[in-house]
Amino acid sequence: MSLVQQWQEIESKLPEDWDDARLMLQVADERQADRAAALLGPVNPGRRGRELRFYAARRGAGPAPLTVGRLLARLDAEDIEGELRFLSAGVTVATPPIRRPTFAASWDAAVAVLPPDWSDLYCEVELNSTDYLERAALLMAPTNPARFGGKPAFRFRCSRVYGYGVDDAMARRCLVRLDDGAIRGTFQILRALSDTHPVQTQGPVWYVGGRAV
């Protein structure tokens, strides 16, 4: 089966709400790995021996599925053989937000429905009033909160094992601080990844609104 056909089969089995897909190409002949990496240059693959890891993004500024297919076709044209494997997919997992009386309870409810091997989260805290912004930013400082869009909200990364973002215990602790400070609003997990295995990088990134987060 050609690499393009392997990609088409993987793409057909992705969840309906997938945002990005992590892929690994294991080149059959290690002598062709350099050439394969060069042909895949536009998707910035990470390499370890015969393994090349990269991703496709359905939205944002990342490599589109058609781009991935076009690059794999170049490898097929040069008779570079290999096995393309699907590693993980990022999806929106909580729309609308799971509403609970407190931020901490919302966190617990949202995390409870995640796969047991979840590894990375992209989260949002939306506040009921702009009056809370300054105080909330201080209480959430360990999460490195970032404003996104015009609403009174902060977004942050959470990493369970390694990689970018605050660890899950500290993330929940910061939400408890909001509750203790009588700050009200909603918590939502926007995207999640499971069982990630970074190669020569700290971890995965998402492209949201044309920028990496």
Question: Would you say 22 and 199 are in contact if contact means Cβ atoms under 8 Å apart?
Answer: no
Kindly indicate the confidence band of residue 95, based on its pLDDT and cuts at 50, 70 and 90.
very low
Q: What's the mean pLDDT in 136-157?
A: 92
pLDDT number for residue 93: 55
pLDDT number for residue 183: 94
Q: Is domain 3-89 classified as CATH 3.30.70?
A: yes
* H/E stretch holding 158: strand 153-159
DSSP readout, 57-70? ESSTTSPPHHHHHH
Q: Specify the higher pLDDT residue, 120 or 97.
A: 120
DSSP for residue 146: B
pLDDT tens track for 16-43: 777 778 899 999 998 899 999 999 988 8
CATH 3.30.70 in the chain is located at 3-89, 103-194
Nearest to 186 by CA among 144, 135, 132: 132
* Confidence check: pLDDT of 94 > 80: no
E-strand ranges in 63-117 read 82-91
Predicted TM-score (pTM) above 0.95: no
pLDDT tens track for 36-85: 999 998 888 888 889 998 888 876 657 889 999 999 999 999 999 999 99
Q: What's the mean pLDDT in 168-196?
A: 90
Residue 15 φ then ψ, to 5°: -60, 150
Question: Would you say 19 and 170 are in contact if contact means Cβ atoms under 8 Å apart?
Answer: no
**CATH fold label, 103-194:** Alpha-Beta Plaits (3.30.70)
